[in-house]
Amino acid sequence: MIDSIASDPFRLVCVSDENLESVLSEFNGKILGVLAYGARKPDFPDNIFPQVWVELTVFGEDICYEILISQRPVTARPAGALGMSYDGDVLFGSLVISETEPAGFEALVFDAYSAIFDTIDAEGYSSLLRVWNYFPGINDEDQGLERYRAFNVGRHDAFSGKGRAIGEGSVPAACALGTSRGDLVICFLAAKIPGTVIENPRQTNAYRYPRDFGPKSPTFSRGVLAGGALLISGTASIIGSETVHPENLAGQLDETLENIRMVIEKARECGFDASDPAQLFLNVYLRHREDYPGVRCRLETEFRGAAHIAYMQADVCRADLLVEIEAFWMSGK
Ligand code: 3EB
């Protein structure tokens, strides 16, 4: 039998401001961390588990809190800019870095990822399952290179520098979105035992994107199955390695949903039970706020209102992409 994390070792709960306190007290001692999405700074309670503010406007809500909860008692440790918590199966961490370093953005990302690898290796949770990346000006040029591309160079070099393979089965699920301001925010979920990496046959594996998309390829997979959860990476209107339907929101949305369907199909082939839509959480990132009503209408039809869907305004990492969708889905029983 292949080793795997106990089923349901962690789960996700999404709440707005008014329910935050009750969820935090209900799961007191079992909280791995919180990602708070919102245009205004959240009032975080005085807790030491990793909690980050992702400075994005949420549509239809003030702040949207994603809370990662363990089944087991959690040990939390603040460690300067890097906070972490762990439960014996998984480790969740967060890094918030302000861009003051004169060395530049690429070096900042390199250092951040190097610190993540050092941390998870030292703590014995060396399998990186999922990474969340948020930073301002993702499509801006900086010293002749788009910042997303500089980010990819720093991330790629940190993988290599720490002796991490970049290839089939070895890269985490991820998302990378642009904020309009604020710090570089990176959250990560790691485990003692590797997850099952899912790729999408409609898309070139991202670590094999050709050089047209930047000097170093992005190091992420389309999804990871771990502990009964399917972690679906940020997914967009890309076929092969090319953006399709530029400037066409409806076309991009259809193509994105088709890509997500394919990832779910591949996860099913690996044993994932995609039967419980009440346990499906989606984050929808829209470049333009005026696209929100139409996208919401389309997705409510698609998921028949069962899934929990949060909508945010964010810059997507290619200038021609209008929408990106990520998901967290717990397996049915
Ligand atoms: C794509 O498929 C769209 O650089 O970590 C999606 C998810 C995207 C993660 C990343 C980028 C990343 O290439 C962009």
pLDDT single digits (tens) 94-125: 999 999 867 899 999 999 999 999 999 999 99
> Residue 1 pLDDT > 50, yes or no?
no
Q: Pick the residue with more confidence: 85 or 7?
A: 85
The predicted model gives 62-85 an average pLDDT of 92
Q: What per-residue confidence (pLDDT) applies to 300?
A: 94
How far, in Å, are 126, 195, 225, 242, 332 from residue 129 at the CA level? 9, 6, 8, 25, 20
Is the CB of 233 within 6 Å of ligand 1? Answer: yes
Provide the token pair at 292: 């929100």
In the structure, what pLDDT confidence band is assigned to residue 69 with cuts at 50, 70 and 90?
Answer: very high
The predicted model gives 269-296 an average pLDDT of 96
Q: What per-residue confidence (pLDDT) applies to 81?
A: 83
What gap in Å lies between CA 319 and CA 148, rounded to an integer?
10
Percent of the chain with pLDDT over 70: 97
Give tens-digit pLDDT for 175-220: 999 999 999 999 999 999 999 999 999 999 999 999 999 999 999 9
In the structure, what pLDDT confidence band is assigned to residue 314 with cuts at 50, 70 and 90?
Answer: very high
Ligand 1 atom nearest residue 321's Cα: 3
Is the CB of 238 within 6 Å of ligand 1? Answer: yes
Residue 120 Cα to ligand 1 midpoint, Å, equals 22
- Report which residue type is found at 232: I
Strand order through the sheet with 229-235: 57-58, 308-313, 280-286, 323-330, 229-235, 223-226, 196-198
Q: What per-residue confidence (pLDDT) applies to 80?
A: 75
The predicted model gives 250-258 an average pLDDT of 98
How far, in Å, are 15, 101, 218, 318 from residue 144 at the CA level? 41, 18, 18, 16
Ligand 1 atom nearest residue 175's Cα: 9
Cβ(206)–Cβ(197) below 8 Å:
no
Q: Tell me the whole-structure pTM to 2 decimals.
A: 0.97
Q: What per-residue confidence (pLDDT) applies to 330?
A: 93
Is the CB of 175 within 6 Å of ligand 1? Answer: yes
Candidate of 324, 326, 328 to mutate for ligand 1, largest count of ligand atoms within 8 Å of Cβ:
324
Residue 227 Cα to ligand 1 midpoint, Å, equals 23
Is the CB of 13 within 6 Å of ligand 1? Answer: no
Residue 106 Cα to ligand 1 midpoint, Å, equals 17
Is the CB of 317 within 6 Å of ligand 1? Answer: yes
The predicted model gives 264-292 an average pLDDT of 96
Angle CA 274–174–176, to nearest 5: 130
For all residues of the chain together, what is the average pLDDT? Answer: 94
> Residue 2 pLDDT > 70, yes or no?
no
Q: What per-residue confidence (pLDDT) applies to 261?
A: 97
Is the CB of 234 within 6 Å of ligand 1? Answer: yes
